[in-house]
Amino acid sequence: MSHENDSAAYNREAELSALFAAYREACPDPDPSANFTPELWARIEARQTFVFSLKRFAQGIITAAAAASLVMGAYLYRPDTYTNSPVYQTGYLELLANEQSADNPANAEIVQALYERDR
């Protein structure tokens, strides 16, 4: 029984191989039509035009983005926008020292009270 199965499988394998060989013979290389090459070039040119338009569009976007960056940069780095502010003129520690200084009129009462207590 097993021998018969093996034999049947072998036969099918051989039939399939023969079928593939017959198929190769039954499907010869077709002759291209006269329009094959002109149509190909038309497709190439259409694709090139599309790619060219896409490139131009992308370049336009890049130029616009660069211009917008320049404008924003110029606005942010305008000398009188932030740099004149005292916050940007002094460091944090200096600012703190000034705020907490005994000479600061806002602290005068506290300094006076401490002086009275210690005396």
Partner 1 sequence: MLVDFELIRRAREGDHAAYNEVVQAYRKRILGTIARLIGRPEDVEDVGQEVFLRLYFSLDQLRTPEVFEPWLYRLTVNAAYDYLRKHRRRTETRMSDLSEQQVVLADAVAGSKREDEEQRRKRIRELVNSLLNGISEQDRMLLTLKEIEGLSLKELEKIYGVNENALKVRLFRARQRVLKVYEGLERKIAPVRASE
Residue at token pair 């211009």: 67
Q: Please classify residue 47 by burial: count the beta carbons closer than 10 Å to its beta carbon, then call 0-12 exposed, 13-18 middle and 19+ buried.
A: exposed
Query: In the stretch 25-44, what mask flags binding to partner 1 with x, by CB under 8 A?
Result: xxxxxxxxx--xx-xx--xx
Check: CB of residue 107 under 8 Å from CB of residue 100. yes
Q: Which two tokens stand for residue 43?
A: 């497709």
Q: Side chain identity at 25, as an amino acid letter?
A: E
Q: Which one of the spans 14-22, 59-67, 74-82, 94-102 is the region binding partner 1 (CB under 8 A)?
A: 14-22
Residue 7 makes contact with partner 1 by CB under 8 A: no
Write down the least CB distance from residue 20 to partner 1, Å: 4
Check: CB of residue 27 under 8 Å from CB of residue 21. no
Give the HSE-up count for residue 77: Cα atoms under 13 Å, Cβ half-sphere. Answer: 6
Query: In the stretch 42-81, what mask flags binding to partner 1 with x, by CB under 8 A?
Result: -xx--x----------------------------------
CB closer to partner 1, 30 vs 91: 30
Residues near partner 1 (CB under 8 A): 9, 12-13, 15-17, 19-20, 22-33, 36-37, 39-40, 43-44, 47
